[in-house]
Amino acid sequence: MTVYLVGAGPGAADLMTLRAARLLQRADVVVFDRLVDPEVLMMARPGAERIDVGKRPGHSNSQALINALLVSLGLSGRCVVRLKGGDPFVFGRGGEEFEALDRAGVHCEVVPGVTSAFAAPAVAGVSVTHRGLSHGVTVVTGHAREGAAVDFRRLANPDVTLVVLMGVQRRASIVSELIEGGLDPATPVAVIERAYMEGQRVQRGLLRSLAELDVTAPAVLVIGRVAHLELSHLGSLTDFASALPS
């Protein structure tokens, strides 16, 4: 009895791993999240049961209920695929689900997926690290829960790219905290909505105007010197780098 904790990738079905696709074709039950693209679900075996446990505004399955469902399905002896957008272990609560299954004696196998933290910037032509622009990248959640919001003042480093997942609603406070922490208000930003899905949109601007952009979730925020990169359109990256705020 095994539950497969599978990363569906950032959106498009052809960005899934081969192992993920093969498991979908074997699955008796597919338990999936809201952001899993319908095209991905079409890859499941025709007779497979599909269970939507996606969290939506005003309607949310608690994590405890999802954990209990996975344990129950795992104990039933059927082939269960828990399909999660991106990578299960990058803000996907995959660790919590793994622990619940392990405590119940259900074997769990993790199949990594391409995380939107790196895939979404890439679709916009943004390399999250680039020599001369950024020597590191920090991936952080913008989601505030139970008073445990990230203190963005501590992340205000002009030499490191900041990638924020689930930060659309908090972007005004993110901007104010980063500027308070010393980040230049003219720092480039890029916002990638619905990467690799229908309705994909990329917006660019400066940190000081991020809160004013018309942004719809799901979206990934990229903050740092690399955010103005459009690699398919650039001539000299050296000239580009020298023109950015220091």
Q: Which residues contact 62 (CB under 8 A, 6 or more apart)?
A: none
Selection from 203, 191, 183 nearest residue 245 by Cα = 183
Angle CA(230)–CA(236)–CA(239) in degrees, nearest 5? 100
Q: Determine which helix (DSSP H) or strand (DSSP E) holds 80, and give its type and residue range.
A: strand 80-84
DSSP state of 34: T
Structure tokens at 157: 């480093």
CB-CB contact of 126 with 227 (8 Å): yes
CA–CA dist 80, 200 (Å, integer): 31
Residues 6+ apart with CB under 8 A from 223: 161, 162, 163, 164, 178, 183, 187, 188, 189, 207, 210
**Residue among 33, 37, 84, 87 flagged as catalytic:** 33
Query: In terms of Cα–Cα distance, which of 58, 49, 56 is closest to 80?
Result: 49
- Active-site residue among 14, 55, 159, 214? 55
For residue 197 the two structure tokens come to 């899905």
Which residues, other chains included, contact 242 with Cβ-Cβ below 8 Å and sequence gap of 6+?
Answer: none
33 in active site = yes
Reference 158, options 176, 183, 175; nearest CA is: 183
Q: What are the residue numbers of the active site?
A: 33, 55
